Amino acid sequence: MVNTELLDKNDAKIYLLYLLKNIYKITEENDIPIYASGGTCLGAVRHKGMIPWDDDIDLMIFRKDYQKFVTLCERLLPSPIVIRTRENDPLFYQEFAKVCFLDDNGKYTELSIDIFELDETNPNRKLFRSIQNFVKSSLYHIKMYKVTKSEQGDFHSKSFAKGILLGFFSFLLPIKTIDKLLLKTLTAEKKSGDYLVNWGAAYHYTKATYPKKAFGTPKKMPFENTYVWAEEYPEMILEQLYGKNYMNPPPPEKRTDHGVKAFTCSKLDFEKIKKEVGM
């Protein structure tokens, strides 16, 4: 039976802050810069915490630090917290990593903190970036088709022709090959320039392309009753993503959240976690 019950929003916030605390313990002790991304950065600047109607946390990390971060997480994160990546889970098809819990059934929880990698890019190479994006998107859908067909049988393409093509390439390409091709695609820009791109962002890649000078030295900003590490100049990121009026909340009808599924994990002591995060 599929679980459709959603986690209480305040409980989700407490679990997310607990995950965040454990992530920061690793990054701070190992000098790994990490930055609030998207709505998390906006929440820190505008609300000094999570956006009230939101229920997730997103972070960004430089590609050069990614593997070190993953390795440390796999070794140091306390059970039942885990990091889920393409490298350690062949069924994972996202372009980013997730830090989440393992529930009592050994399944990854939907509640998670997403860790996005920042790659070199050159906005002036428009054709090159367009090809990168096409290949990236194609590989994403090929792996999603392959995984959902083999594990769940629930992938349905709106286009018959697209479904045939996805089926052909998913049959032709092993999962490891898809993952290797994706990594080569995301890191295809070899020259170090003035811009970075978050290929895994929910936004179009042109919008998720940021000047390096926006990042600088991570800045500690109030977040709920704790803090997040934000960009040195977060306004450069926020204005690009949300426009010049990013400090003005959207009207109620445009306020959406993800809604995360409830889970059961007997290894977690919720009351102890509440005290640990000060809630």
The pTM of this model reads 0.91
CA distances in angstroms from 191 to 120, 184, 187, 194, listed in the order given: 7, 14, 10, 10
Please count the structural domains in the chain.
2
Note the pLDDT tens digit of each residue in 27-70.
999 999 999 999 999 999 999 999 999 889 999 999 999 999 99
pLDDT at 152: 44
Residues 25, 6: Cα–Cα separation, whole Å: 29
Q: Which domain range does residue 183 map to?
A: 126-188
Residue 78 has pLDDT above 90, yes or no: yes
Q: Residue 209: in which H helix or E strand, if any?
A: strand 209-211
Find the length of the chain: 279
Whether 25 and 157 map to the same domain: the answer is: no
Mean pLDDT of 71-78: 98
4 assigned to some structural domain:
no
Whether 205 and 111 map to the same domain: the answer is: yes
The CATH number covering residue 106 comes to 3.30.460
Whether 118 and 235 map to the same domain: the answer is: yes
pLDDT at 153: 38
Note the pLDDT tens digit of each residue in 173-192.
888 999 999 999 999 999 99
Whether 50 and 36 map to the same domain: the answer is: yes
Q: Are 266 and 8 a contacting pair, CB within 8 Å?
A: no
Mean pLDDT of 80-86: 97
Q: Which pLDDT band holds residue 149 (cuts at 50, 70, 90)?
A: low
Residue 161 has pLDDT above 60, yes or no: no
Residue 155 has pLDDT above 60, yes or no: no
Whether 173 and 46 map to the same domain: the answer is: no
Whether 41 and 64 map to the same domain: the answer is: yes
Whether 47 and 133 map to the same domain: the answer is: no
pLDDT at 150: 52
Residues 197, 212: Cα–Cα separation, whole Å: 10
CB atoms within 10 A of CB 98: 20
